[in-house]
Amino acid sequence: MFGQESKENIYAEIVTIKNNNLINFIELIDLKKYYLRDGQVWYIDFSKENEIKLASGRISKFIQSDSNIYITIIDNNIIFILSKKDQIIPIKKTGLKADLNRFNIIDLTFELSSYWILKEVNGEIKIVSKSIYNGKVNSQ
C-alpha cells in the first residue's frame, strides 16, 4: 500500500485597505512602539460582526483558523488581515499573492500578546478594549 499526504497551498492575497479611518488609527497608535515576540506579526481580524481586532500573533495560527488571509502594509508595518469566507471587508485586491506554505504547521503554543478591540461609530474608530503586552510576565 502506498499513501501520500496532500497539502493545500496556502497564500495571502496582497491588498490595500479602503477604510481611511482604520488606516489613520493604525498610523496614530504607531505599532512600532509595541512589543512583538520573535515570529509574531500584526493582524487585523474582521471575523466578528461589528468588531475589528488589531493584535499580534503567529501566522501559523491564522492558517489553522480557516479564515481568508490577506496581507497589506500600513506605516511600514506588514499587517495580515483575516475574514470569514465570503465576508465583505473594506479591501481592494491586487491579484498578487504571498506564499505562506512554510508557516503551515500545527501550532499549539499560547503566548501573551497585545490587542485592541475596535468599533467604527459614525465614521470614527473607537477602542472598546485593549491589552498591551510589554514582553514581561507580571509577577505578584
Q: Enumerate the domain spans of the chain.
A: 11-131
**Structure confidence by residue, pLDDT tens digits, 10-27:** 899 999 999 999 999 999
Which residues have a Cβ under 8 Å from the Cβ of 48 and sit 6 or more positions away? none
- Confidence (pLDDT) at 91: 97
Q: What is the pTM of this model?
A: 0.83
What percent of the chain stands above pLDDT 90? 57
**Structure confidence by residue, pLDDT tens digits, 75-126:** 999 999 999 988 999 999 999 999 988 887 666 666 778 999 999 988 899 9
- Confidence (pLDDT) at 30: 94
What percent of the chain stands above pLDDT 70? 86
